[in-house]
Amino acid sequence: MQTTIKSPAVFQGVGLHSGKRTRMVIRPASAEHGIWFKRSDIRLGDALIPARWDAVEQTPLCTLLVNDRGVSVSTVEHVMAALAGCGVHNALIEIDGPEVPILDGSAAAFVRGILARGVARLDAPVRAIEVLKPVEVRRGEGANEAWARLEPGKSLTIDFSIEFEDAAIGEQRKVLNMANGSFVRELCDSRTFCRQADVDAMHAQGLALGGTLENAVVVDGEKVLSPGGLRHADEAVRHKMLDALGDLALAGAPIIGGYFGHRAGHALTNELLRKMFATPGAFRMIRCDAETAARLPGAGVHAGEIPTIAKAVA
């Protein structure tokens, strides 16, 4: 059955890139509504923005959604990952500014808020996107090549690898089946990360104005500069998987298949979705039976599965 959040969940904080403070409310929605954002600070015109792959505008640092009237909301990937990872199919997200609050740099606070309110079942079947044949996109070449691929599979799996010069990150790879709450247990508390040199460069360009050592993991060579260090030895690749789930959630329905990413980012994952939808025979929409629905991300998840570290930093 489709689901929604039982009662509104409220979040407040600054945007990572804008530095502006916003208030965001995830509200219940009816069956077949899907996920939509509403800019409550927009008084005239269309303030509704679909959380959908074809509303994404390419940006290098986050996922930005823009409606037909040019109204936008950015950095949606963490809350989208939380909704997908908690198995929420329908919600209206009201926000009074241009960027989703970064909070601690992970999706843990969103997960806590959603699961604290509870997830309600709706009288409508869940539909999913079944990948039928491989689809792949690539950018760059040689050591700088990045790629992302979708392949057929029985459930959503994510296989991600990264390579960074800084020894604090280095080369990392992780593979997870996203069924039955593994997002909440394994990924939701992993924070966004960056190199100190990149932070300095972004600040010089007037970017990442809301970034601090409290809402991102900042590394410099072998050093982790953020207080408390890492939550996981492989926190960086876990966060990339978190981002990938959030960006894949913009497909508009759960994906059944394998996602493989190497040095992939928001733009490449969105390009992959666009290619899948444009490729004849690459996918089909299915109505999930009970067995299939039980393998979707978030099926049967509960608040007790949130990692202890995420609770400790609440």
CATH of the domain at 47: 3.30.230.20
**C-alpha 280: how far from its chain's center?**
27
Catalytic residue among 78, 89, 239, 266: 266
DSSP string, 6-32: SS-EEEEEE-TTT--EEEEEEE---TT
**pLDDT value for 308:** 65
Q: Are residues 166 and 112 in the same domain?
A: no
Domain boundary among 93, 121, 149: 121
Q: Are residues 263 and 144 in the same domain?
A: yes
Catalytic residue flag (residue 78) = no
Q: Are residues 111 and 141 in the same domain?
A: no
Provide the domain limits for residue 24: 3-121
**pLDDT value for 74:** 96
Q: Are residues 91 and 196 in the same domain?
A: no
Domain boundary among 62, 94, 121: 121
Q: Are residues 135 and 30 in the same domain?
A: no
Q: Are residues 23 and 160 in the same domain?
A: no
Long-range contacts of 238-241 (CB under 8 A, 24+ apart): 238/174, 238/186, 238/187, 238/190, 239/106, 239/187, 239/190, 239/191, 239/192, 239/193, 240/160, 240/162, 240/264, 241/158, 241/160, 241/174, 241/176, 241/187, 241/190
- The total of structural domains in the chain comes to 2
CA angle 226, 229, 233 (to 5 degrees): 130
Global pTM value = 0.94
Q: Are residues 35 and 138 in the same domain?
A: no
Helices 266-278 and 235-248, interaxial angle, to 10°?
A: 40
Q: What is the pLDDT of residues 32-55, one digit of tens each?
A: 999 999 999 998 889 999 999 999
Q: Are residues 82 and 133 in the same domain?
A: no
Q: Are residues 153 and 233 in the same domain?
A: yes
Q: What is the pLDDT of residues 248-291, one digit of tens each?
A: 999 999 999 999 999 999 999 999 999 999 999 999 999 999 99
Backbone angles phi, psi at 248, to 5 degrees: -70, -30
* CATH number of the domain bearing residue 197: 3.30.1700.10
Q: Are residues 82 and 135 in the same domain?
A: no
Q: Are residues 190 and 113 in the same domain?
A: no
**pLDDT value for 104:** 94
**pLDDT value for 61:** 81
**pLDDT value for 277:** 98
Q: Are residues 136 and 34 in the same domain?
A: no
**pLDDT value for 59:** 80
Spans of the chain, pLDDT less than 50: 311-314
Domain boundary among 89, 121, 153: 121
